[in-house]
Structure 1
Amino acid sequence: MAEQAQYEELIRQFSAFGAVKRELGRLLPADCPGGSAAVLTLLGRHGDMRISKLSELLAVDMSVTSRHVAHVAERGWIERSPDPADKRSRILRLTPRGEDLLDEMSERTARMLADRLSDWPDADVVQLTRLMARLRASFDDCRVPPARPPARSGAAPSTRTPAITT
């Protein structure tokens, strides 16, 4: 298992990674904020689904998901149709305009990454992708808090607070 200093360095790298996320976010069209892009991406990856499933995949409250869905639906990027199994529910699906926008955003992002990582060996890009997928899998259900280690008897509480910014 890694030592404390390695985890502290990892925290610093996560914080610095916010700059990468911000730069990638600048590639999004002005009328497509990050939450909207996430909705389109998940529908593109997983196909048609109910809003409850989308909310679960986004790991946000249903009210937040509803606002994102309303935003993308108003722009004609998705459609909401009655669920044949339950007429009270709606099935969300990408429209051709939404698919085109998703393709455009994907191409922009891929071009930027190809440019920024052009001096990386292919094997390093593959390894980074594999490790990031593995890290994400370790946090799959981020709504369930991890078990807290027992407090050390006689130890003063830590005053260190990791500074994680986005």
Structure 2
Amino acid sequence: MAAQSHYEELARQLSAIGAVKRGLGRILPAECPAGSAAVLTLLGRHGEMRISRLTELLDVDMSVTSRHVQHVAARGWIERDPDPLDKRSRILRLTPAGHAMLDELGRRTAEMFARTLRDWSDEEVGQLNVMLARLRESFDCREVPLARTPAAQQA
């Protein structure tokens, strides 16, 4: 186990990640704000899904998800088809235009990182990718205490 000071420094570094997020936000097309980009990214990664599942993945309130879905649907980036198993629900899926926007977002993101990290070696970028994936997996496989979940806070 790492020393307490390492965990404290990790917390400081992760809280400063906001600068990276702001940089990513600046490269988004005006018609595709961060919430819309998140919807497209999740549908691209996980495939078609109900809005309830998208809400879980976004970890926001259903009303927030609905606004994001409305925005991307209005631009023709997703389809909302009736769920054959439950006609009250809708299945969300990317359209060809949505795939094209997702490709554009990926291109812009890769260019930004290439420009920003131009003094990093391929090995250093690879190490960062491995460590960030490991960090994310460590959080994904652990249960969040019930009192900390959004659903528990609303109850």
> What TM-score does the superposition give when structure 2 sets the normalisation length?
0.86
Unaligned runs of 5+ in 1: 148-166
CA RMSD of aligned residues (A): 1.9
Identity of aligned residues (%): 71
Amino acid corresponding to residue 81 of structure 2 in structure 1: S
Q: Which moved more, 1:97-106 or 1:135-144?
A: 135-144
Residues 106-136 of structure 1 deviation map (CA, whole Å, 9 limit, x = unaligned): 0010011112222222121111111111111
**Superposition deviation, residue 80 in structure 1:** 0.3
3-state secondary structure, aligned to 1:139: helix
Cα distance change of structure 1 residues 66 and 142 upon mapping to structure 2, 3 Å threshold? farther
Cα distance change of structure 1 residues 38 and 86 upon mapping to structure 2, 3 Å threshold? same
Cα distance change of structure 1 residues 141 and 55 upon mapping to structure 2, 3 Å threshold? farther
1:9 corresponding residue in structure 2: 9
> What TM-score does the superposition give when structure 1 sets the normalisation length?
0.81
2:50 corresponding residue in structure 1: 50
Residues 121-162 of structure 1 deviation map (CA, whole Å, 9 limit, x = unaligned): 212111111111111122227882289xxxxxxxxxxxxxxx
Q: Distance in 2 between matches of 1:143 and 1:28?
A: 33
Amino acid corresponding to residue 4 of structure 2 in structure 1: Q
Cα distance change of structure 1 residues 142 and 91 upon mapping to structure 2, 3 Å threshold? farther
Q: Distance in 2 between matches of 1:63 and 1:141?
A: 27
Q: Distance in 1 between matches of 2:43 and 2:2?
A: 37
Structure with the larger helix share = 2
- Structure 1 runs of 4+ aligned residues shifted over 6 Å read none
Amino acid corresponding to residue 16 of structure 1 in structure 2: A
2:88 corresponding residue in structure 1: 88
Cα distance change of structure 1 residues 39 and 114 upon mapping to structure 2, 3 Å threshold? same
- Count of residue pairs brought into register by the alignment: 147
Q: Distance in 1 between matches of 2:140 and 2:71?
A: 26
Larger radius of gyration: 1
**Superposition deviation, residue 97 in structure 1:** 1.4
